[in-house]
Structure 1
Amino acid sequence: MPGGRASCLANITAKSVISCVAAYEKVRTNMAGKNVAVQLANGRSMPLFGLGTWKSKPDEVRKAVIEALEAGYRHIDCASIYGNEEEVGAGLKEKFSDGTVKREDVFITTKLWNTVHHPEDVEAACKKSLENLGLGYVDLFLMHWPFAFQRGNDLFPKGPDGAVLDGDVDFVDTWKAMEDLVEKGLTRAIGVSNFNKSQLQRILDLPPKQKICNLQIEITPYLPGNDIREFCKANNIVLTAYSPLGSPDRPMQAGTDPILLQDPVINEIAKAKGRTPAQIATRYQIDRGIAVIPKSVTPSRIRENLQVLDFELTSDEVQRIGALERNFRYICFGASKHCKYYPF
């Protein structure tokens, strides 16, 4: 880790997040008083801590959303491909109806799937997600991947050889269609997920009518994304880390994959501070000004995951975690490596 970045991280506390990332974001506390939020490029705020819903079963995710909102979460991350938007919507509706939270107090993200990248499909896909969620708008709508799949009802269309069929749609054209969603009030902001720097630059070079407000990518201590973080900082794009805990329940695991939450350094720090390894890994990203959306459907873990703002990492601890970088990616989506715009 370069000395300048390490020095910056080493001096961060819960009260000084803004001093390190003020070049591209503004930190405040949300109405629940538990989440720190960043200011997006369009001036709207996004809580730095949210509930991820990938791999959450439909019969479990409604209860998880309810538990999270009651615990103080004000950011829920969804996607159409997760297959559980309706149940997420049911949980939201229950908490809106009983007065726990108001719609305007919860930041909700969802994503455009690869089979609907054709510009004429984008608006209908967004409206379908809104219908599933029971909402009139989302706060953030992301392009889930830069590559398209062949259009149709099959979410993972495959050819005779078993390879996913590339839709061959330029993500720039998809982005232009997404810009219209903001103008029509279907989403407050737009962004992208799983894009690399050159792909982000193509959109920035348009220049876009709507700002790229967010980039959601895999970020862990093993894959800290230092280069793209600097790029996003320079271009006023807020980062969100998905699978910040190494996605231990992810599909297609290899037996040799390192298990982040068993890392000796993280566990040693956790033990010394009386915290969990998950809290240490999460706190590290928040200290870097990166939003995190760990997934859980277990009530105790949902509440435990949120308890990351009442302790500090020392400069030595920050540097030790920073030294864990090994360029290891947990989520590769290898079945799409042949696609034209595969980002990795």
Structure 2
Amino acid sequence: MSSRTLRALALASAAVVATTALAACGSDDETTAAAGSGSGEASTIKLGYFPNITHAPALVGVNKGLFAEKLGTTKLEATTFNAGPAAIEALLSGAIDATYIGPNPAINGWSKSKGEALKIIAGSTSGGAGLVVREGINSAADLNGKKIATPQLGNTQDVALRAWLKSNGLNVDTSGGGDVSVLPQDNATAVQAFAQGTIDGAWVPEPNYSKLILESKAKALVDEKTLWPNQEFVTTHLIVSQKFLKEYPGTVKKLLEGHIAAVSYIKDNNADAQKAANAQIETLTSKPLKDEILTAAFANLKFTYDPIASSLFTSAKNAESVGLLDPVDLKGIYDLGPLNELLKAAGQPEVSDGAA
């Protein structure tokens, strides 16, 4: 990012701070004032994210203090999750206010709450997933009778695999039956199972995609980005509870400033960003990624503010087509207004919610 862009972002940030500070004046109880007027600052924001390289903007933003810097007097309470459904449940219950998450859990949360629980406010990560298999499997037809793992039933990669198999004339069900046995299991189990020869492949996100190739001699059968227009699809985006967005729009805007700063940092300082992301993973899990896996995973991911909305709508249709989602109207799931205000102020292109 250019120095001119960074200065513009700083000015936009200052304007937001001034506006929200004025809105909070006139009350000794900042939280009460904010809840009543819809223009104040929250004393705390509870943010969820995963200890996974596909959540690198969150990892870098926390590790480098970028969120804390932009949030100012608002305290950041960061919580990590291992799976999207758990993060969605936390959001629905009010245990967190915002979270980085994959598209399908966000769709499920929107559907479950009848469009009242959340808004997608920014993109974060594109790419970095696909199907890796053992030697001897060279086509979809070769998967007949094989066992393939996914991270979790109904998660983003699980839906992608099932839709791809269906498009290639292979039938599966949710209990592991059909032409191909799809076995949802956590990524660590899948990596171990592949090494032991008890599964024949896995449709997984980074870093497990690269880990299986580099450490277990798997080969890539499908790089998922090749299935999408412009080789872009949403892997991770940032969502916020509608209640929090309504009560504390100033704080949400500051969160977005931190997110923009994190994505910009990754683009401008890639090597250091990799180290920061890995250091945060080590802090959270005590298991940093090996350098070669970290480098390969980063190279296979694109970090972006654009939520790539068209791919979300396609993912929902795919989930419906394989029986994992009832028909759902996604109109209104995005609120990109605050993000686009910041991007416009910084002289950057605005992003689209995919609406006609």
- TM-score, length of structure 1 as denominator length: 0.30
Structure with more relative contact order (C-alpha pairs < 8 Å, separation 6 or more): 2
- Rg comparison, structure with higher value: 2
Q: Which has the higher helix share?
A: 2
- TM-score, length of structure 2 as denominator length: 0.29
Q: Which has the higher strand share?
A: 2
